[in-house]
Amino acid sequence: MNDGGVQGGRVALVHDWLNQLGGAENVLEELVALFPGAPVYTSIYAPERMPDAYRTWEIQTSFMQRLPGVMTHHQRYLPLYPLAFSRFRLSGYDLVLSNKSGFCHGIGLGTPRPLHVCYCLTPTRFLWLYEQYREREQIGGALDALLQPVLSLLRRWDYAAAQQVDHFIAISRTVQERIQRIYGRESVVIHPPVDTSYFTPDPVMPVGDYYLIVSRLIPYKRIDLAVEAFRQLPHKKLVIVGEGRDLDALQAAAGPNVTFLGYQERSRVRELLRGCKAFLFPGLEDFGITPVEAMSVGRPVIAFGGGGALDTVVPGVTGEHFAEQTAESMAQLLATFDPSHYDPAACQAQAARFSSAAFRDKLLAHLDQLLATAGKLEPV
């Protein structure tokens, strides 16, 4: 590699699958922007289901691309992902950077071997946190029983693949602890990027009379806790933005002080964030982008005190944590919460720590250091 840093070298990116949009794809887009022209290796790619900009990328897919129905039901092919990634050979690169929540850290590297750094969104959730995943995807009965021997084999493969990674980067302290506990590997924390340049305050917009949630309405997000908390606080208002299979049940359980808006455009979400008393985050997430977006517009956050919220929300400064993941614990905090106690400028300053620019600077500096230590790069 030349001495111009990692961006002057031969870099390959690896991603689990490209048939749906989520937080992993937000990170991938940042990586592609950092390393323009770097190829993206993945198991499957559905151009019609992804943003048009992806069609300008060099995307290399596995044999799974040709499997029937894989683009819409990729989970059905669970046992094939290890084989798909291990059959790649990426020996022509200085650095392989995998963006992993599934199996892509098992990418085949070949000889001469490049340095492999894994940006770990989480150890594979449906292997190591299966009970949570089963509830989330409503897996039960016969399918659950059939999956057990497959999961056991995949856990062995997943652990072995993790031992072949040269360096891990975790997205939060929670994921860092999980990497250590499950894989027995050390990692550094570099938080994922948040678009703080878009989520900005409106200094002339008054604060409204509502609290806000923006979320998919699925079980593990625990929106039910907020709905029940506001049943106990009938004089406070809650607005919920989002869609999902829990919508009907949540509407049936909600009191008249809870309003469901469904899907909203990004610009409308920003407007709602700017006007809320506080943003509510009742789930347990590995990181959590939306609380940082709320702080970026200057609003405080009330979050369950676990997961990524421990990294992002500063009690007494940018919001508060409620101690137990129960409606009662949330309601107790809300009953005495005063939004005026939280300085919008302090919220913004905290959000800036997680900006896209901060992510790029930290990641490039860390990769340069790793490559220099490995003898693939002159120190810069």
User: What is the residue extent of each domain of the chain?
Assistant: 6-193+356-373, 210-352
* Residue 246: half-sphere exposure toward Cβ, Cα within 13 Å: 22
CA–CA distance, 280 with 337 (Å, rounded to integer): 12
* Region 307-324 average pLDDT: 97
**153-182 per-residue burial string, b: 16 or more CB within 10 A, e: under 16:** ebbebbbebbeebebbbbbbebbbebbeeb
So what's the pLDDT on residue 3?
52
Residue 27 has pLDDT above 90, yes or no: yes
What would the DSSP string read from start to end of 287-302?
S-HHHHHHHHTT--EE
The answer to whether the CB of 62 falls within 8 A of the CB of 88 is: yes
pLDDT tier at 220, thresholds 50, 70, 90: confident
Min mean pLDDT across 220-224, 250-254, 349-353 is at: 220-224
Residue 256 has pLDDT above 50, yes or no: yes
* Region 292-311 average pLDDT: 97
So what's the pLDDT on residue 185?
98
Residue 57 has pLDDT above 70, yes or no: yes
Fold match flag (6-193+356-373 vs 210-352): yes
So what's the pLDDT on residue 378?
56
So what's the pLDDT on residue 286?
93
Omega before 112 within 30 of 0, i.e. cis:
yes
Residues 6 or more apart whose CB falls under 8 angstroms from that of 256 comprise 234
pLDDT tier at 301, thresholds 50, 70, 90: very high
pLDDT tier at 380, thresholds 50, 70, 90: very low
pLDDT digits (tens, 9 = 90+) for 324-370: 999 999 999 999 999 999 999 999 999 999 999 999 999 999 999 99
DSSP β-bridge partners for residue 279 = 212, 301
Mean pLDDT of the chain: 93
* Region 275-289 average pLDDT: 96
CATH superfamily of the 210-352 domain: Glycogen Phosphorylase B; (3.40.50.2000)
CB neighbourhood size of 271 (10 A):
15
Residue 227 has pLDDT above 90, yes or no: yes
Is pTM beyond 0.85 here? yes
DSSP β-bridge partners for residue 302 = 280, 320
Of the chain, the percentage scoring pLDDT greater than 70 comes to 94
The answer to whether the CB of 218 falls within 8 A of the CB of 212 is: no
* Region 51-62 average pLDDT: 96
pLDDT tier at 7, thresholds 50, 70, 90: confident
Secondary structure element (H or E) that encloses residue 135, with its range? helix 130-137
* Region 190-201 average pLDDT: 96
Nearest to 101 by CA among 217, 37, 35, 18: 18
Residue 40 has pLDDT above 70, yes or no: yes
So what's the pLDDT on residue 82?
95
Residue 379 has pLDDT above 70, yes or no: no
| Chain length of the chain | 380
Nearest 5°: the CA angle 91, 94, 95 is: 95
So what's the pLDDT on residue 136?
58
CB neighbourhood size of 230 (10 A):
25
pLDDT digits (tens, 9 = 90+) for 111-139: 899 999 999 999 998 898 877 666 656 66
CB neighbourhood size of 76 (10 A):
12
Residue 104 has pLDDT above 60, yes or no: yes
So what's the pLDDT on residue 146?
78
Min mean pLDDT across 108-112, 302-306, 317-321, 355-359 is at: 108-112
CATH T-level fold of 6-193+356-373: Rossmann fold (3.40.50)
